Structures are given as structure tokens and as C-alpha cells.
């Protein structure tokens, strides 16, 4: 992945794409998980209560090809999964925002798993690669969904919490702080990119992309879109703890007709 010249290493910013994962029709709700023992979760106070409060707007997103592959007259049994990660329910009508690098195209089909464990079909309405944003709408009839409540303007050093789906594990909670409320910079990687993100100091992994970032009141600060990596002497990439989110204000502007 490439990005602008103000950053040193080509490909040091990665977006949280997770390939080749499937959606099992959940039988019970998503359990929140707190795997990062080296992170001071208590930086946001009662983080477990905050995560439970924020969880209803989080969804696991799965993107599939629209039809099974055909080999002659026999359907190819290989999975139709294209990508999967996280998303945010923005309003009671079931509009969901996620990252464009997850959805990629309106030619695919989508489903979302809500925190109660239900799997809902979703229609891909719009994909904007230049903003790394995609808009879905849950197609389940007769259900009113929880709506994200946007936070005020983010502040430097403000504590925040995020929920995502790293390594196909839904409901993973991580905490951190805002390092810059508006980083005046554009990032590019392949056909995708974003600009002026909220910069975060936070443990983020592939699969967190599209997930909500909330403040200590549970209000939506933004949506995770990428994170920085550095290369070790062993030739492997590791997270630097620097992550980026599209602001809640930009998300609201995107979903408005």
C-alpha cells in the first residue's frame, strides 16, 4: 500500500482488511473480549460498562460474491467470502458505515451480525474509495436499530475505546487516546485513501477497520480506517500503536443524501 510522501516507509500504513472469513449464523450474542493485557483498559474508567453501552452500534460485516462460482454444472464449494471486518449502525433505519477497502464494490453482497448475535442481510448502497467509506443498509424489515450518538469535537489526550473484529473475533475491545483531533494529512493505499483523520494512540489490528471509536460517555468519535506499522529486524511488521479514524462529523456528512 502506498501513501503520501510525508510518511517514510511505503506500506507502513495498513487498513484492516481480513480475507477469507465466513459468517456463521450466530446462536447467541457476541461476547465482548479484552485481550490486550499490556493496555491500561482502566484509562477510560469503567471500561467494561462503557463497552457494553457502546456495543449495540457495533456490527461484524461480511462481504460475499453475489452468486456461487460454477464449474460446469456443479457449484464450486469454495467460500464466496471476499472480506470481513467491522461496522457502525448510524441510525434507527439500519444504515451502517464501514470502510470502503472492506466492501470494495456494490457488485458484492453483504451481511452484518449485530451484538445480539443475529445475522442480517444488508444492501451495499454506496462505496467511496477516495474517502475509504462505504454505506450499507440492513434489509431486515420491522426492526428499529440503535442509533450512534455523535460526540462533540474530539480533543487531544481524550481517552477513547474501540470495538472491532480482528482475526474474525467479533467484539474485541481496545482503549487508547486521541493524539490529534484532526491530522491535516492525506493517506493513500492502492485505490483507497482518506484525509484529515482523528489520530489515535491505540492497539489496532486488521479487522478493527470499520469499527466504532467512542468517548468516555459512549458517544461516537469516529470509525477506525487504518494504522501504522514498522518493520522489525526479523523482516516482520508490527503495530506502532498509531491508528486513524474518520471523524463522526465526516461519517454523518457521508450518509446524508
pLDDT in tens, 32-58: 999 998 888 888 889 999 999 999 999
Within a domain: 115: yes
Within a domain: 229: no
Within a domain: 11: no
Amino acid 11: pLDDT: 39
Within a domain: 178: no
CATH number of domain containing 89: 2.40.10.10
Amino acid 1: pLDDT: 35
Mean pLDDT, residues 151-178: 95
Euclidean distance between CA atoms 202 and 244, whole angstroms:
9
How far is CA 198 from each of CA 90, 185, 207, 226, 255, rounded to the nearest angstrom?
18, 10, 18, 11, 19
Domains in the chain, number: 1
**Residue-number span of the structural domain to which 96 is assigned:** 57-138
Within a domain: 110: yes
The helix (run of H) or strand (run of E) holding residue 48 is helix 47-54
Rounded to two decimals, what is the model's pTM? 0.84
Within a domain: 119: yes
Within a domain: 83: yes
Amino acid 73: pLDDT: 59
pLDDT band, residue 141 (cuts 50/70/90): confident
Q: Which residue has the higher pLDDT, 174 or 42?
A: 174
Euclidean distance between CA atoms 108 and 121, whole angstroms:
12
- Mean of all residue pLDDT scores within the chain: 85
Within a domain: 205: no
Euclidean distance between CA atoms 233 and 68, whole angstroms:
43
Amino acid at each position: 500500500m502506498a501513501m503520501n510522501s510525508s510518511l517514510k516507509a511505503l506500506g507502513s500504513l495498513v487498513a484492516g482488511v481480513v480475507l477469507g472469513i465466513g459468517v456463521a449464523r450466530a446462536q447467541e450474542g457476541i461476547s465482548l473480549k479484552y485481550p490486550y493485557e499490556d493496555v491500561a483498559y482502566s484509562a477510560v474508567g469503567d471500561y467494561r460498562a462503557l463497552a457494553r453501552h457502546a456495543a449495540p452500534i457495533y456490527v461484524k460485516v461480511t462481504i460475499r460474491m453475489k452468486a456461487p462460482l460454477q464449474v460446469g454444472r456443479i457449484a464450486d464449494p469454495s467460500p464466496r467470502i471476499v472480506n470481513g471486518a467491522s461496522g457502525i449502525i448510524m441510525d434507527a433505519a439500519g444504515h451502517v458505515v464501514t470502510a470502503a477497502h472492506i466492501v470494495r464494490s456494490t457488485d458484492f453482497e453483504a451481511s452484518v451480525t449485530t451484538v445480539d448475535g443475529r445475522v442480517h442481510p444488508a444492501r451495499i448502497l454506496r462505496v467511496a474509495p477516495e474517502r475509504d467509506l462505504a454505506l450499507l443498509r440492513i434489509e431486515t424489515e420491522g426492526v428499529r436499530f440503535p442509533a450512534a450518538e455523535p460526540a462533540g469535537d474530539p480533543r487531544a489526550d481524550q481517552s477513547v475505546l474501540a470495538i472491532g473484529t480482528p482475526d474474525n473475533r467479533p467484539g474485541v475491545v481496545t482503549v487508547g487516546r486521541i493524539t490529534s483531533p484532526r491530522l491535516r494529512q492525506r493517506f493513500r493505499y492502492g485505490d483507497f485513501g482518506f484525509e484529515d483523520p482523528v489520530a489515535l494512540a491505540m492497539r489496532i489490528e486488521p479487522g478493527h477497520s470499520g469499527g466504532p471509536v467512542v468517548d468516555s460517555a459512549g458517544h461516537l468519535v469516529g470509525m477506525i480506517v487504518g494504522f501504522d506499522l514498522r518493520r522489525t529486524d526479523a523482516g516482520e511488521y508490527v503495530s506502532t500503536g498509531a491508528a486513524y479514524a474518520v471523524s463522526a462529523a465526516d461519517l454523518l456528512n457521508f450518509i446524508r443524501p
